[in-house]
């Protein structure tokens, strides 16, 4: 499989690893996560819940290239985190940063000053242009729901809390 520029390789689980700035904080999934997901059958409610998108639409969204930036607020115990704050403190901090963005503060400047993603903060939070499937599901879903220029509400992933800006 030929990868678009900005991607380094596929892991043994088929996950894309970003080479853009060395960022691997949002890639899908670790082998441990894959094993855990496969070990859990869907609940009856999950299995019977209809989805609004058809399989081809979901596949098309996963392949769609998106350009995003993000601000990560990590916490102790989050995946690949070195942060010491609690999960509740991280959630509160993410909310405070979102309020600053809603008040008109520049996303890139805020990412540079406040993001816990050391790799992307130097590029003002930019994750570049990559297939949506590169990211963990909650991140990808939120990014795909945005229009260019929009910023998400606080999005929780296994890496912490994110504020996502859809750039293109």
Q: What is the CA 102 to chain-centroid distance, rounded?
A: 20
Any idea where the domains of the chain sit in the sequence?
7-166
Radius of gyration, CA atoms only, the chain: 16
- The tokens for 14 are 């088929």
C-alpha to C-alpha distance for 122 and 152, rounded to whole angstroms? 21
pLDDT top residue among 63 and 99: 99
% of the chain exceeding 70 in pLDDT: 62
C-alpha to C-alpha distance for 45 and 65, rounded to whole angstroms? 32
What is the model's pLDDT at position 104? 97
**pTM for this prediction:** 0.67
Tell whether domain 7-166 is in CATH 3.40.50.300.
no
Per residue in 43-72, pLDDT (tens digit) is: 444 433 344 444 445 456 656 899 999 999
């Amino acid at each position: 499989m030929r990868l678009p520029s900005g991607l380094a390789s596929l892991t043994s689980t088929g996950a894309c690893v970003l080479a853009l700035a060395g960022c691997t904080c949002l890639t899908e999934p670790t082998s441990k996560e894959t094993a855990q997901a496969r070990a859990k059958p869907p609940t009856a409610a999950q299995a019977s819940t209809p989805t609004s998108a058809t399989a081809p639409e979901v596949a098309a969204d996963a392949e769609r290239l998106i350009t995003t930036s993000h601000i990560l607020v990590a916490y102790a115990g989050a995946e690949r985190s070195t942060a010491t704050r609690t999960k509740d403190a991280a959630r509160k901090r993410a909310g405070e940063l979102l309020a600053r963005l809603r008040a008109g503060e520049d996303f890139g400047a805020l990412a540079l000053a406040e993001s816990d993603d050391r790799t992307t903060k130097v590029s003002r939070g930019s994750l570049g242009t990559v297939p949506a499937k590169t990211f963990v599901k909650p991140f990808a879903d939120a990014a795909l729901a945005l229009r260019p220029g929009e910023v998400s509400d606080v999005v929780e992933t296994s890496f912490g809390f994110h504020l996502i800006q859809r750039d293109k």
